[in-house]
Each structure stands twice: as C-alpha cells, then as structure tokens.
Homo-oligomer: A and B are copies of this chain.
Amino acid sequence: MTVRLGANRYGKAETRLVHVVRDGPVHHLKDVNVSISLSGDMEAVHLTGDNAAVLPTDTQKNTVYAFARRHGVGEIEEFALRLAGHFTATQPTIQHARVEIEEYGWNRAGPHSFVRAGGEVRTCVVHHDRDGRRTVVSGLTDLVVLNTTGSEFHGYLVDEYTTLPPATDRVLATAVAARWRHAGDETPSYATSYEEVRGALLDAFAGTHSLSLQQTLYAMGERALATSPGICEIRLSLPNRHHFAVDLSPFGLDNDNEVFYAADRPYGLIEGGVLREDAPDAGFAWE
C-alpha cells in the first residue's frame, strides 16, 4: 500500500482580541475572535516532522495582536485581508492563507462603557493565495427571528410515513446563518454592505408570506442580492425552530395559535444559495 498526504492546513484558532481606540475621552471598542489557517509546502513536516516550513501558530497569534496595534482593526474583512496578505507575502513556504473572524457587538453605555449587544455575530472568511487571488465572504450567525403568522405549509408529498396535518397558519422561527460573497475589483464598504444585507434579510423574513421555509430562504437571498450590488452570491442555513401549538382541548380550552411549545430537537434544516447569473467563479471562497 502506498499512501500520500492529502489537503491540509494549520494555524491558530480563536485568538480573542479586544481593541480599544482611545482617541480622546470617548473610547471605541472592537471585540473579535480570529482564526488563521495556512497552507503551502507542508510535505516535510507531515512526513518527517521537519518544521523548517512552519510558521508557529504562536507567531500567528502574536501577529494578530501586533497588527491591531500597528494598523487598528477597522472592518473585520479588512483586518482579515491584511493578515492573510502578510503571511503569504512574507513566508515563501506559505502559499495560501485563510482568515476567519467573528465580531461581537457592543452598545455604548457611556464615554468608556459598553454593554454586549447579544443577538447576531458578524463573521467573515477571506482567502489570499500567493498567486494574487483573494476572496471575501462576509456573514452573520445567530440572528434569531420569528413570525407569529403569515406562514403556511401544505400541498407536500404524502407517503405511508406522513402524519403531519397541513397548516394554514403557523409560527415560523429560525436562527439565520448567512454568508455572502463579494465580487468585483473595487473594495466595498464592508460596514455599509453588512447593514444592507442584514436589513434585507430581516425585511424579507418579516415581509414574505411564506408557504415554506425554502420560499422564505430564497426571498431573503434574492432581497440581499438586490439590495447590495457588490454581492454576487449568498448562502443561508435556516434551522426551522418548530413551535408547536399545544393541544388544550383536554382542559376545555381552545388554542387559536396563542400557546406554543418551543421544541429543541429535532428541527428542520433548510440550506440553500442564491447567486447572480453572472457571478464569477467562486474558487476557494467557500472553503
């Protein structure tokens, strides 16, 4: 039997950086979680333990902190691109860098005081290859939304294992995880496009009379692409957080979609993408 090394990457995951901008009495805060993955000439380290091509993950962590001091953080996509470009530019053995960042929001509570926002987490994944190709995917996770009406589900396939009754009015709830790919040559305003896409997702969720969660997913994706012209593709993962109307008839009570049991598991999971017809090839953007 002959075996060989397959695809591989390595790096420092979950470097927790809080950056305070202290220009004057009013401070600003960035709270991020940075994960770096590098790949390149890694045959030797796997086969013999020769580390000559390996930049330590500890060094990658140091670089995150030093770059925050040198350049600030700014939009997470920019910070990720700066880091990714650094590793491929400075280390001949590193062919490719992937940087993923999560950003946790804070609301202001005073000139130097903040309250963690909760709610969704902003994300990005960037790739930078030695050959000059770069990709940027922005996103969010844990945006939990719920419609108390305006959702139906019927007309589906029925087989011998189907017991679900059709619904003409149900609660629809999900925790949106969305990632969208930026296209084009000019650098967009990532802050603006984030707000645009987030708003489009919320508007489409709230405004779509839904016959299925798939329809809502597509409407959300379509709205995001229509709202934010720099985006060429969006992928959504929508767990269907089932809210079951409780049968209160044993107690002589009706339940006109007022009292629900919020279930944990199992849950439906709807995953899908929407993209422009002219979207450029994604390359390694989604890896």
Contacts and interface: CB of A to CB of B under 8 A. Distances in A.
A229 B53 CA distance: 32
A114 B146 contact: yes
Contacts of A65: 246, 248, 259, 261
Give the bracket for the number of chain A residues in contact with chain B: 35 or more
A171 B18 contact: yes
A7 B147 CA distance: 26
A119 B142 CA distance: 12
Contact of A218 (B46, B51, B214): B46
B50 A211 contact: yes
Interface in A185-239: 202, 205-207, 210-215, 217-218, 221-222, 225-226, 229, 233, 235, 239
Contacts of A157: 51-56, 59, 91, 93
Contacts of A42: 214, 272
A231 to B, nearest CB: 10
Total copies of the chain:
4
Contact of A164 (B56, B218, B264): B56
B66 A161 contact: yes
Contacts of A253: 66, 69-70
Interface string A264-275: 111111111111
Interface of A: 1-22, 27, 29, 31, 35, 37, 42, 45-59, 61-63, 65-66, 68-70, 90-91, 93, 106, 109-110, 112-120, 142-150, 153-164, 171, 202, 205-207, 210-215, 217-218, 221-222, 225-226, 229, 233, 235, 239-240, 243, 246, 248, 250-251, 253-278
